[in-house]
Amino acid sequence: MLYRKMGKTNLDVSILGFGAMRLPMVGAKSEMDSFDPNMPIDEEEATKIIEHAVGSGVNYFDSAYVYHAGKSETFLGKALKKYRSRVHIATKLPTWNVEKAEDFDRFFNEQLEKLQTDYIDFYLIHGLGNSNWGKLRDLGVLEFLDRLRADGRIRFPGFSFHDDLKVFKEIVDGYDWGMCMVQYNYYDQVFQAGKEGIAYAANKGLGVAIMEPLRGGKLVGKIPSEVQALWDSAKHKRTPVEWALRWVWNQADVSTVLSGTSTLAQTEENVKLAENGLPDSLTPEELELIDKARMAYRKMLKVDCTGCGYCMPCPNDVNIPQNFSMYNDTYMFDNTLGISRILYNKMLPPNQRASECTECYICEELCPQKIEIPKNMKDVHKRLGKEETK
């Protein structure tokens, strides 16, 4: 296993991190089952996966209060108890459930108990962004993190992020963070924090953990013939998984790449691929090929939104790029409609959904791509809204 420094924390973390969001489940028929509170984790199989990861040198394990409907932390605590001194555990404050300052301690103490530990290596504010940054600061979340660091209950504070670049930089500059977690893959190079945000955070000394390097499996599922033809044309043959992971590992500003695996075979494959995950190890020709694959996917877009953010902020708080991203996924990638509907109805704040568009047309006037945004917002809600999930 290869290791990199997690920014100014100076901790060595495995370049392959383990995300405990997609653990194997008993009787699971699809990835959506991980949101079902009645669907149990297959602990026997999941334990085998964890033990193989630890035995292979993986030392960064990531969970969250909400993963597997609250069961992920409990399982991870049991599975990692005997390895505690060898691994770094990261988990996240459930920001959606915070209503008052007392909630910070209540959730954190519950998480310590679930994880069977008296400290957490990396404690992240989950999904920090424009919609909750101000509220959490006013409630004293930064002072709360200071207290946890001072008494040793956490080693380093961090945040995970799903918003635009401007907000990302503001948050990076707003506190003495140890690390951050962002979505990044060869398709989402300029989406949300993007490549510029990663470089900005790394330059400030933050470690950078990458989530969704395979875009939730979309980049390695049913591959469109146009993309597969590109992979087949490569001088050095690689699987779509290898192309995607190697592209992220190729960038020196990245500390660790999280992959949530649900089978032992997936874990074994990722561990083997990590042996070659050195920065700047891909040739210019290989990078050009990956960019051609990205452009091939872009040609399949239902709405040609580049995520540039010129339409933002929306006067009514609609997250226009995020809505289009989820909408496009349902057309570009096989079997993603159900996941996108869950994300739209459960994870996206109600005020940010396409249904809240008031058709003021300010965004349309600002859009460089000349997209008919209000018209398309209606289509987004029609496809992803609750009335369509029956």
- CATH number of the domain to which 247 belongs: 3.20.20.100
Please give the structure tokens belonging to residue 141: 């979340």
Instruction: Give the CA angle between residues 288, 294, 300 to the nearest 5°.
Output: 145
Flag residues of the chain having pLDDT under 50.
Answer: 388-390
* pLDDT value at residue 390: 36
The Cα–Cα gap between 322 and 303 comes to 12
The Cα–Cα gap between 327 and 340 comes to 7
The Cα–Cα gap between 227 and 183 comes to 22
Same domain, 284 and 330: no
Residue 313 lies in a domain: no
Contact 19, 259 (CB under 8 A): yes
Count the domains in the chain: 2
* pLDDT value at residue 25: 87
Among 267, 289, 311, give the residue marking a domain's end. 289
Same domain, 285 and 325: no
* pLDDT value at residue 335: 67
Same domain, 324 and 271: no
Tens of pLDDT, residues 220-265: 878 888 999 999 999 999 999 999 999 999 999 999 999 888 899 9
Tens of pLDDT, residues 35-93: 566 778 999 999 999 999 999 999 999 999 988 888 999 999 999 999 999 999 999 99
H or E element in which residue 91 lies: strand 88-93
What is the phi-psi region of residue 260: left when phi exceeds 0, alpha when psi lies from -120 to 50, beta otherwise? beta
Residue 299 lies in a domain: no
Among 238, 272, 289, give the residue marking a domain's end. 289
Same domain, 257 and 345: no
Same domain, 372 and 251: no
Same domain, 362 and 219: no
Residue 380 lies in a domain: yes
Displacement of CA 364 from its chain's centroid (Å): 29
Residue 236 lies in a domain: yes
* pLDDT value at residue 153: 97
The Cα–Cα gap between 119 and 155 comes to 8
**Residue of 347, 348, 7, 4 lying closest to 172 (CA atoms):** 7
Sign of CA dihedral 278, 282, 288, 292: negative
Residue 357 lies in a domain: yes
The total of other beta-carbon atoms located within 10 Å of residue 2's CB is 15
What is the phi-psi region of residue 298: left when phi exceeds 0, alpha when psi lies from -120 to 50, beta otherwise? alpha
The Cα–Cα gap between 159 and 127 comes to 7
In 143-300, the DSSP E strands lie at: 154-161, 179-183, 207-211, 256-259
Among 237, 268, 289, give the residue marking a domain's end. 289
Residue 201 lies in a domain: yes
Residue 311 lies in a domain: no
pTM: 0.81
Contact 43, 23 (CB under 8 A): no
Same domain, 210 and 283: yes
Same domain, 207 and 280: yes
* pLDDT value at residue 36: 62
Same domain, 182 and 325: no
Same domain, 148 and 251: yes
Domain that holds residue 53: 3-289
The total of other beta-carbon atoms located within 10 Å of residue 315's CB is 9
* pLDDT value at residue 388: 44
Residue 302 lies in a domain: no
Same domain, 187 and 261: yes
Same domain, 284 and 340: no
State the amino acid at position 209 in one-letter form.
A
B/e letters for 351-377, b = 16+ CB within 10 Å, e = fewer, are ebbbbbbeeeeebbeebeeebebbebb
Q: Return the SS3 of 288.
A: helix
The Cα–Cα gap between 160 and 45 comes to 28
Total residues belonging to the chain: 390
The phi and psi torsions of 177 (rounded to 5 degrees) equal: -75, 150
Contact 139, 179 (CB under 8 A): no
Q: What is the DSSP letter of 376?
A: H
The Cα–Cα gap between 29 and 39 comes to 11
